[in-house]
Chains A and B, each alone.
Chain A
Amino acid sequence: MTASSLAEFTRRFSRHGGAVLGAAILFAITMLAVFGPLLYPESPWRMVQKPFLPPMMTDGFLFGTDTLGRNIAAGLVHGARVSLLIGLASTAAALVVGVTTGAVAGFFGGRVDDVLMRFTELFQTIPNFALAIVLVAILQPSTDSIVLAIAIVSWPPIARLVRSEFLSLRSREFVQASIVQGQSSFQIIFTQILPNALPPVIVMASLMVATAVLLESSLSFMGLGDPNTMSWGYMIGAGRTVIRQAWWISFFPGIAILLTVLSINLVGEGLNDALNPRLSRRTR
């Protein structure tokens, strides 16, 4: 990307008010995740006060304590790490598989395309969440297995998107020119076509991070989270039974998930408008 197109990108992105707000929230959450453990150096699992302490009543316990007297604020900060880490890692894994599959299918076409797409459909026919639960249950809950499970359920849409981009770009004359020049297929896929196919993929990936955060929370809520890490989903699940007596235990992790997912979505939308100016729905 040249300097001028980067400036143009920034200009279009910042014209989107919601996206700027989303980026700001996301930045704050990321900072919390990175530097939070400095604020709360102790393990979030430690019982530090009386249980069922309501929020904003005791100094140092902004969001109160849970059923076992653990600090909810510490849980939120440590949970942010897990949520963002799993969201990014699983999206990255899904991108590697999805982009490669889609690129190969779209570029070579024919039988290769048929085989790869039938394989992709195999995954698409199974409900995402059910498959994720089964995978985590079989593999034993851990951060790795959760990342793997989320990646496995979320790569098919990427593969399909990349494939359709490749199908339309493959017949463009600049690609044919590089075939005629004698470049290898590998070279053509990664240096000629892929950079041109990326903008919609970037947008989709940003939205997938949000979905992954939700999926991770849902898994932990069901008790399939990594037993050694505090996560937002686990906190909601643990507070669920006492929601009428102690609403704050489930409420604050819920807000954290909402804000994270919302901000990622806003950023994704801003990226979409900035990267695909011609497809932008709004004209401002």
Chain B
Amino acid sequence: MIANAVMGLLPKPHVRPVAGAVRFRGRDLLKETEAALQAIRGKDIGMIFQEPMTALNPVMTIERQIVEVFDAHAVLDKSERKSKVLELLSDVGLPDPELLRRSYPFRLSGGQRQRVMIAMALALRPEVLIADEPTTALDVTTQAQILSLICRLQSERDMGIMFVTHDFGIVSDIADRVAVMQLGKLVEVGRAADVLRNPQHDYTRRLLSAVPAFVPKARPAAHRGRLLSIARLDMTYRGKHGLFTKGRTVEAAKEVSLDVRKGETLGLVGESGSGKSTIGRCIVRLLEPSGGSIRLGDIDISRMRGKQLHPIRKRVQMIFQDPYASLNPRRKVGRIISEGPMAHGVSEAEATARTIELLELVGLGRAALHRYAHEFSGGQRQRIGIARALALDPELLVADEPLSALDVSVQAQILELLASIKERLHLAMLFITHDLRVAAQICDRIAVMQRGRIVEHGDTADVFTNPTHPYTRELIGAVSGLALPSTVVAGQESTLAADAL
């Protein structure tokens, strides 16, 4: 929000700064006219957005989009522009700029698009760069690359950067000074090292303690019976084919073999697109695998259909990623949770009693029963989602990135809730996540996935302290702020990280 205010990008006339000043080289930007702001935007202050997928115009080539920046500020002639575009693209570390400048955005990956965005922001050599959560939408490994790119460009060009993020790992990696915001107020400002090591404000302390430590907890090795075993599972998506065209096929999972024992948590980690969610969805049988077997106890559920699956549904439940999309907006919370047991023949009164019990268990209380999902915050909604999953007393929970849509401080609470529930109800859990810190906290064993294959699996402590596969090593190396909070990387003078939660 602050970042947008500086750039004069607030949605007028509903939102406008009511007081205060934004000073840039002695001029107050809030008082400047739209025309004057246009001259400053891009030229003196550059901006990178959160969502590289939507920040580029899909129907323009990369070159056109960068040239537009020059057009807007009427600088450079035609031939200079072309060479400048090539120079910028190679500056931000994109391969084959000559080919790339003629491409359309859809050909580029998220990381590449973010590089293009950075190239555009840097085209006119701004003195200040505002980066609004530039890596939130990216994978961990890509995030690490983009961060190091931003740091390199900063030192080359001597820029000031205002880096808006919710991730303290990033803060400890790149920031010189930190400003912590809570509910629109600046609660703490200081040198990154000081703030991270010795936070003054209560809120900062809460945020910092919510960052899961990247140290796997020691766990007693449980040798209990197998609950779920997956053998050589294949999943190939087939695109729709027409009369004359062949459908596109995507192999999302190839020969995946996994075991989940009773009462243990198995973490499935990997980048997005690695096939983690596909495995999860095959287990709860939202998808039918194209090959291999999924045995729950002694029953192979991979080929079951329709009514056959009904008794299985009770035993395997799922917690979904997006608490905003996973609850029916037109039903009361009580109904959302009790529908499951009622579908399995439990009477309404009994289901409601169970629902109240569950709401207490997840820390919401019976008052939630008669309210709609939109009346709750993201964290509370995820609690409702957990209660719904528990309503059928499952033996196995599949949690598909249950934390990734939540704020850090809320993440810690939900993680704690999951751990305590697992403990109390002796559940087995398949925990799908891209966040290695979270995996280290909750998982007994870890399986690492890359491009549809499991490349490494073993006890959490072993995998993290002694990774054997190069991809696992790369993933672990990419975890930002690994050493937080004992050592803090010292960066350049003018970086400022604002934590806008």
Contact = CB atoms under 8 A, between A and B. Distances in A.
Contacts of B330: 195-196
Interface string A204-222: 0000000000000000000
A164 interface: no
B318 A180 contact: yes
A91 to B, nearest CB: 23
Interface of chain A: mostly helix, strand, loop or mixed: helix
Interface in B307-348: 309-310, 313-314, 316-318, 320-322, 325-331, 336, 339-340, 343-344
B392 interface: yes
Interface in A175-202: 176-184, 187, 191-192, 195-196
A95 B19 CA distance: 54
B214 interface: no
B326 A182 contact: no
A187 B342 CA distance: 11
B203 interface: no
A176 B330 CA distance: 16
Given A173-B322, A192-B328, A182 B286 contact: no
Interface in A56-81: none
Which one of A2, A173, A180, A196 has the greatest number of beta carbons of chain B within 10 Å? Answer: A180
Contacts of A187: 343
Interface residues of B, number: 29
A27 interface: no
B328 A183 contact: no
A196 B329 CA distance: 8
Contacts of B391: 181
A183 B326 CA distance: 15
Nearest to B341: A181
A174 to B, nearest CB: 4
B6 interface: no
A191 B340 CA distance: 13
B328 A196 contact: yes
Most chain B beta carbons < 10 A, residue from A173, A176, A181: A181
A195 B328 CA distance: 10
B388 interface: yes
Contacts of B318: 176-177, 180
A11 interface: no
Contacts, number: 61
A213 B344 CA distance: 47
Contact of A174 (B314, B326, B340): B326
A172 interface: yes
A178 B327 CA distance: 10
Contacts of A192: 328, 331
Interface in B364-410: 372, 385, 388, 391-392
A177 B385 CA distance: 9
A174 B328 contact: yes
A95 B37 CA distance: 54
A176 B313 contact: no
B310 A182 contact: yes
Contacts of A181: 313, 317, 339-340, 343, 388, 391-392
A181 to B, nearest CB: 4
B284 interface: yes
B344 A180 contact: no
Contact of A176 (B310, B320, B331, B339): B320
Contacts of A173: 320-322, 325-326
Contacts of B331: 191-192
B70 to A, nearest CB: 34
B325 A183 contact: no
A91 B317 CA distance: 41
Contacts of A174: 325-329, 336
Nearest to A175: B328
A192 B385 CA distance: 16
B313 A177 contact: no
Nearest to A1: B330
17 contacts: A2-B372, A172-B325, A172-B326, A173-B321, A174-B328, A174-B336, A181-B340, A181-B391, A181-B392, A182-B313, A183-B339, A184-B343, A187-B343, A191-B331, A192-B328, A195-B330, A196-B329
Given A174-B325, A182-B314, 19 more contacts: A2-B372, A173-B321, A174-B327, A176-B326, A177-B326, A178-B328, A178-B339, A179-B286, A180-B286, A180-B313, A180-B316, A180-B317, A180-B318, A181-B340, A181-B343, A182-B343, A183-B339, A183-B340, A196-B330
Top 9 A-B pairs, shortest CB-CB distance:
A182-B313, A173-B326, A181-B340, A173-B320, A174-B328, A183-B343, A173-B325, A195-B330, A182-B343
Interface of A: 2, 172-174, 176-184, 187, 191-192, 195-196
